[in-house]
């Protein structure tokens, strides 16, 4: 399995570096690409890089796949597009070409439910028993969620499971239960495209500031995007995810402390030290397939990068770090942040 990882780090106040590497069952090969960006302020509003360096990654077998010639990459390219800290929300003019490596087939998680994934374990069993959680009820459908305060932020400690496409047309055809099994939504919540998560229909019909947002589109979002979150809650921005990383000790260990204490493949469980309880819910590919349950957690932000990419919290069973980067057209989880 070839998985591309991109790791972002601040070099100076107005510079950003990107380190990309490819992992293939223990074989690491990679390339370095540099981006430069200017930060506007601390609110998460940035101006994009003027140019992106060409990034090419080639497997030891020599097989490559170019995303410039086929934008919708295979599921092997999902994940490990890792960005731990700063790129820029949507406004970049990109001229980069990314070559994605071929992949072996996905291996199923193995072991017990506490050393690997099982849909038979209820979501409550994944919470940290040593944390005192709050709760909130979504008035739209009556569902109740555990909440947790981390630093100065209050987060949902469970993935959103809101599905009413009549009240929220953005969800029509753009949200799913894993494997199209409604019972699984009760365990890990729903999977949403980025357009659905930001409630793109509501944004498009905003009388004061209409925005046409989604995959292969760029738009200028408001500073706070409620998206499909309940009233009083919103989708986290890129800056707010980074504030969470800071509160839990930094991105390099955030994956370890934010992951649930059970359910992750190959004993890749976290400590869940702060009660965030991130579950390895997997994702929905653009072709309608589902995969990587037990392996990874992808959770949307409201901050876009360019027409194809945006920022999502990316956590992996084999990595203690937390990252922020991915394609817009996949189906990922949503966690809401209190206003």
Phi, psi torsion values for 170, nearest 5 degrees: -60, -25
Q: What was the pLDDT predicted at 209?
A: 81
pLDDT value at position 72?
39
Sketch the domain layout of the chain as residue ranges.
2-101, 124-338
Q: Worst-scoring range by mean pLDDT, 28-32, 40-44, 208-212?
A: 28-32
| Structure-model confidence comparison of residues 205 and 39, the more confident one | 205
What letter would DSSP give residue 112?
-
The pLDDT, as a whole number, for residue 106 is 36
> Do 302 and 198 touch, CB atoms closer than 8 A?
yes
Tens-digit pLDDT profile for residues 219-273: 888 899 999 999 999 999 999 999 999 999 999 999 999 999 999 999 999 999 9
Does residue 279 surpass a pLDDT of 80? yes
Residues 6+ apart with CB under 8 A from 273: 128, 248, 257
Would you say residue 216 has pLDDT above 70?
yes
Backbone angles phi, psi at 7, to 5 degrees: -120, 120
Residues 69-86: what's their mean pLDDT?
43
Q: Residue 300: enclosing H or E segment and its boundaries? A: strand 296-304
Nearest to 155 by CA among 221, 224, 244, 86: 244
**193 with 201: CB under 8 angstroms?**
no
Question: Would you call 315 helix, strand, or coil by DSSP?
Answer: strand
Instruction: State the pLDDT at residue 211.
Output: 84
Q: In whole angstroms, give the CA distance from residue 210 to residue 339.
A: 22
Contacts of 248 (CB under 8 A, 6+ apart): 150, 151, 254, 257, 258, 273, 274, 276
What CA–CA distance (Å, rounded) separates 297 from 21?
20
């Amino acid at each position: 399995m070839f998985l591309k990882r991109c790791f972002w780090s601040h070099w100076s106040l107005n510079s950003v570096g990107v380190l990309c590497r490819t992992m293939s069952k223990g074989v690491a090969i990679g390339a370095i690409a540099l981006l430069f960006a200017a930060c506007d302020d601390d609110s998460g509003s940035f101006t994009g890089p003027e140019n992106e360096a060409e990034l090419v990654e080639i497997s030891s077998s020599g097989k490559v796949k170019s995303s410039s010639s086929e934008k919708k990459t295979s599921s092997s390219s999902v994940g490990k597009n890792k960005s731990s800290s700063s790129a820029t929300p949507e406004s970049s003019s990109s001229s980069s070409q990314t070559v994605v490596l071929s992949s072996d087939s996905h291996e199923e998680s193995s072991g017990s439910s506490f050393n690997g994934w099982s849909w038979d374990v209820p979501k409550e069993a994944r919470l940290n028993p040593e944390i005192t959680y709050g709760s909130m009820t979504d008035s739209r459908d009556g569902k109740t969620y555990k909440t947790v305060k981390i630093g100065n932020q209050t987060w949902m400690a469970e993935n959103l499971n809101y599905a009413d496409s009549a009240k929220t047309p953005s969800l029509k055809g753009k949200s799913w239960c894993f494997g199209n099994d409604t019972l699984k939504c009760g365990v890990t919540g729903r999977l949403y495209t980025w357009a659905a998560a930001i409630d793109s229909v509501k944004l498009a019909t905003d009388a004061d500031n209409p925005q046409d947002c989604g995959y292969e589109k760029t738009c200028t979002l408001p500073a706070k995007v409620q998206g499909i979150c309940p009233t009083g809650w919103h989708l986290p921005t890129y800056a707010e995810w980074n504030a969470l990383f800071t509160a839990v000790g930094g991105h390099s260990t955030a994956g370890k402390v934010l992951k649930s204490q059970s359910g992750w493949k190959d004993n890749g469980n976290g400590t869940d030290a702060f009660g965030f309880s991130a579950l390895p819910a997997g994702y929905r590919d653009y072709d309608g397939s589902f995969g990587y349950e037990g392996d990874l957690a992808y959770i949307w932000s409201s901050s876009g990068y360019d027409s194809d990419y945006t920022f999502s919290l990316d956590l992996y069973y084999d990595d203690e770090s937390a990252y922020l980067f991915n394609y817009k057209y996949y189906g990922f989880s949503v966690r809401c942040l209190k206003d």
